[in-house]
Amino acid sequence: MIEFLFELLAEFLLQVVGEALVELGLHSMGEPFRRPPNPWLAAIGYAIFGALLGGLSLLAFPEHFVHGAWRLVHLVATPVAVGLVMVLMGAWRVRRGQPLLRIDRFAYGYLFALALALVRFQFAT
């Protein structure tokens, strides 16, 4: 049971850290471009970034963290949890007076994490 909880935590942390790093990069790159992008194009971009990070994560962690029937539960639950973490990060940024990116909202954070999780679900051994 402890091993299962550790596996769940490891997969969750992989996605949260991945999104935090992408968010940091987007904040630094996004400053010169103040005009907000099209929301549909942004959604496609976040899905692509999530899938790319999922593919890159397979190089470092080629095996599933969660095994058996729990993989499907993980595929559904973890992106929701990561989306909620991104909402909390967005609220933290607002309190500090920092600008929000789209990934600081639930839908975009969820989409990013879902794309990452789908790639790992499909291609991890």
**Per-residue pLDDT tens digits for 7-42:** 888 888 888 888 777 776 666 555 445 566 677 877
The CA distance from 66 to 3, in Å, is 9
At position 25, the amino acid (one-letter code) is G
Per-residue pLDDT for 114 more than 90? yes
Per-residue pLDDT for 115 more than 70? yes
| Per-residue pLDDT, 31 | 46
**Mean pLDDT, residues 47-57:** 89
**Per-residue pLDDT tens digits for 53-88:** 999 999 988 888 888 888 888 889 999 999 999 999
Per-residue pLDDT for 99 more than 90? no
Domain ranges in the chain are 2-29+43-123
Task: Give the alpha-carbon dihedral of 27, 50, 48, 90, to 10 degrees.
Answer: -40
The secondary structure of 45-94 as a DSSP string is: HHHHHHHHHHHHHHHH--S-SS-TTHHHHHHHHHHHHHHHHHHHHHHHHH
